Structures are given as C-alpha cells and as structure tokens.
Structure 1
Amino acid sequence: MRNNITQYSNYMYAIKQLRRKKNLSQSDLALEIGVSLRTIQLYEKKDANIPIKNLTKIAAYFDLSIAELYLQEVNEAQETYIRRQPFTKNGSVFYPMDHGKYLVMAPLILTEHQNEYIESLVENDFGKSTFQSGFIVDFLGDEAYRAFEISGNSMDDGSIVAIPNKAIVLGLKLGRTALEKENKTMCNKPYILVCRDRIICKWITGFNGKENAVYCQNLNKSPEYQDFELPLDDILEIFEVVKKQL
C-alpha cells in the first residue's frame, strides 16, 4: 500500500523534523547556529523569514545545501526526504517545485568579483561560481540566469520597484539582437548591463539608433545620479531583472 505524502512548500517545518531526527532541542540547535532560543522558535513557524546567512548555517549543519533544505518534504511517518531531482542548465541548478515553478540556484556575482566576471567574459572562460543565490521562478528560460549584488543607491528611490544598495537581483540573459533591433518592449524595465569596465543596474527607457546606444535611467533623482546614453559596443551582456532580494 502506498503511503500518503504530506508535502510542505517551505523549509520551516523541515527544520523541526531534521532537528528532532538528530535528537536536538531547540536550545541545542540555537547554540549550534549561534542564535537565541526565541529565534529558532520563530524559524520553525510556517511564516518565518530566515536571513540568508542563518539559513546557510542551518543547511550546513544538516549537511544540506539551501536548495536541498528548501525542498525537504515530510511523509506521514514524519521522515524528511527530497522527492524531486535537480538538474543543471546554463550554469544554474534547478529544483522542480509544484505548479510548474522551480527553485533556481544561480551563480552569484558579488560586487568585489565583478572585474573577475568581466575578464572571464572577455576571455570566454566563465567557470563555476563559488557563490550562488536562490530564487523561485515561474519558467526555465532559454538563456542563462545570473544573480548580481547591487552596488550603490542610484536605483533606490524608496518605491516598491526600488533596487537598493546590496540587494541581490536575478537576471535572465537576453541576446544582443534584442538591443540591436530596438525592441520597444524592452523599455521602462530594470536591467543588469555588463559593460567592459563595470556592471551596472539601470532602467532602459529608449534607443538612439543614430548613435547606436541605449538611454539609461536612474530611479534615484538625486543630482549626483545623472541619466546617460550607453553605446551598445560597450555592453558585453544584458540581463533583464526578474527577481530581487533585499
């Protein structure tokens, strides 16, 4: 007879089961992770919001990746397991979820490693990134996903669409032909622009066909942040921002 499976779409319940499997109290786990007892009690609630640094510590303690922790499921015997099999595409690892969604663990380019990433593109030698960041996406996409750490406040206007300093965004790579054809559907959206000397996050508001350039806009209207035109020849890669983590 096949057992009925109770599936949990978040890692909060799995943390409790993994802790119990190791015969740990909440106080024991709190001590191992370096947080308070109250913090662990909150983490084991369904609506908990766990900071990425603490989530990383918890996953590592149970010898799991963050993705594996997120996709832990619990059967009626209160045993944790992973039913879905991950797969790799364009340098990212995808974990199938319910309703056609995926947890994608994408290579993360931190601010201090931007120059290394640019050099790897110039030399056509982008290897496996040391860092990853996880996002839930609704589709795979034909091109690569990359995660970028934002530097500076030029895209922070305090609104719901703001992208503040140190935010992590997930970008879906677009082909250069989208820019060269002056695709109007690309306008008024945030993008990561990987240039020859820097990586920036800007809104593209239009195209200058005569100068073969795109109009880049800052959300922050402070005088120190000026809008500008960026020649297409200076752009190595372009990613549409599809998700963000603050």
Structure 2
Amino acid sequence: MTIDKFAVERLYKEKGFNQDTFAAAIGISPRKLSGILSTSAIKKVADLQAIAKVLDVQPEALLPREPKFTDAVRIDMTTKGEVHKSWAGSEFQDLPDGQILMTIPLVDQFAYAGYLSGYNDAEFLQELPKHSFIVAKRHTGKYRAFEVRGDSMDNDRRDAICAGDIVVGRAIEKTLWKSKFHLHRFEDYVIVHQDGILTKRISNHNVEEGVITCVSTNPDKGSYPDFDLRLSEVYEIYNIVSVTQKRGRR
C-alpha cells in the first residue's frame, strides 16, 4: 500500500528520531525504512501498525487520501474486516464505519519497464507496491495505480497531473476499444503502449482506423507535441478516476 512518506518523516523528526533510531524503534532495518520512504510503499500492515504505534498516531494518518472516492478516512486497523480479493487484483477490507479500504497494485517509476512485459503476470503484479484508499463500495473492474513520470501533463493549474503524483485508473477492456471512448466523461488516461507508459489526454478516437490522438496539457508544444497512436500497439488503457497530488508540489 502507499503511505504518506512526508507525514512519516515530519512526525518522526518532531519526536526527535533520525532515520536510524526511528528504524530501530519500529523494529526494522535502516535499509528497509529507507526503501519504504523512498518509494512511499509499504507491503505489510504489521509494519504500518508498528510505525503508527511509535509515532503515536492512528495508521490512517499515514495513508494518502483519495478525495474523489470519498472524503471519510477514519480507519481502525485493529478491527477492520477480512480481505476480499477480486478477479482483477483489487483487495477490499470492510471498515467498522461501513466504508471500505481498497488496495490495488501500484506501478511506481521503478516498475515502468517491467510492467510492459509483466502486466498480465499475476506473480509480477503481486510483487508490486500497493496503493490504498477509502471507497464507499466495492468497485468492479480492473484498477491500477501509476506514479506519474515527466511534465507533459503539468499546466501550472490546480488540476494538473505532475511528476510524482499517483493516478488511479480503471481499465477499458479491449472489447470496448471498437466503440468510441466516452471522452466527454473522462479526459485523461494512462496508456500502456509497447514503447512505454504514458499519461495523456485523449482528444479523439478514430474507431474505424483504430487510432487515438494523445494530447499533453503542458503548453510547451515544442517539447510535448500531440501525436496519434495505433491501438494495435497498445496493451492497456485506463481512464483516470482519481489523482493523489505529491506533497509539496504547490
């Protein structure tokens, strides 16, 4: 799952720890703690609980928020329900207040290259970091989280998608690619292309020719020109349903 590393760093420094003494206090190696903080990813709930205990906070205080799903974020990690797994790799845990903790694979920047060959490999997906957020119901379909690379979607507006942000995408199944995408409902997409993973706006979908037009919102069109992609060269497409902004980018 994804953690708010900035909150962790701020809290342990406020309590007088450095990274080595904090790692010792929570019972993990400095190297493991460094990996958690550098990737914002933590695989074991037990480690999250140990960190929260030393910092004297609730575990949910260390998780990022996904406001486009729901604004409520109160989690009691000791009494949440059993894990329910979907066919698409999502995990759901019922919470005492009736809400649900949803956890999905996170493709961070280090996993971009491997994802192109492993996107359909269950073992590879299981080894990816996780991204967790609160939802009101169990969402069907295939969801993935991606850490954004590059500045092509940075337009200096509050709704910009910037490097380091985490976007949550819902997959558009290939059987639906022969029907025109709902571009009026979802503007921005993650496109898993044979040459890389792109975060782009799709301005046009030519169904007959199987071509999509990809647009960068960055106004520097010299560096980020619009271009067409053939869907025959695309592995997956996700419409972006939520964005978690990287702390401190504004």
TM-score by length of 2: 0.65
Per-residue deviation, 1:229:
0.9
The letter for the 2-side match of 1:162 is A
Are 2:48 and 2:59, in contact at CA under 8 Å, matched by a contact in 1? no
Structure 2 match to 1:135: 133
Which of 78, 81, 86 is the matching residue for 1:81? 78
Matches of 1:103 and 1:174 in 2, distance apart? 23
Question: Equivalences for 1:88-237 in 2 at 5 Å?
Answer: 88-89=85-86, 90-97=88-95, 101-121=99-119, 126-185=124-183, 189-222=187-220, 223-237=222-236
Give the secondary-structure state (helix, strand or coil) at the position aligned to 1:112: helix
Higher relative contact order (CA 8 A, sep 6+): 2
Per-residue deviation, 1:125:
6.2
Matches of 1:27 and 1:159 in 2, distance apart? 32
Per-residue deviation, 1:69:
2.6
Matches of 1:72 and 1:208 in 2, distance apart? 45
Matches of 2:150 and 2:225 in 1, distance apart? 13
The letter for the 2-side match of 1:233 is S
Structure 2 unaligned residues grouped into runs of 5+: 1-10, 21-35, 53-57, 61-73, 246-250
Percent sequence identity is: 24
Structure 2 match to 1:30: 15
Between 220-229 and 170-179, report the one with greater CA deviation.
Answer: 170-179
Higher strand share: 1
Structure 2 match to 1:60: 47
Are 2:211 and 2:231, in contact at CA under 8 Å, matched by a contact in 1? yes
Question: Equivalences for 1:32-51 in 2 at 5 Å?
Answer: 34=19
Matches of 1:107 and 1:224 in 2, distance apart? 31
Offset from partner CA, 1:138-159 (integer Å, 9 cap, x none): 4433222111111001011122
How large is the RMSD of aligned CA atoms in angstroms? 3.6
Per-residue deviation, 1:120:
1.3
Q: How many pairs were matched up?
A: 197
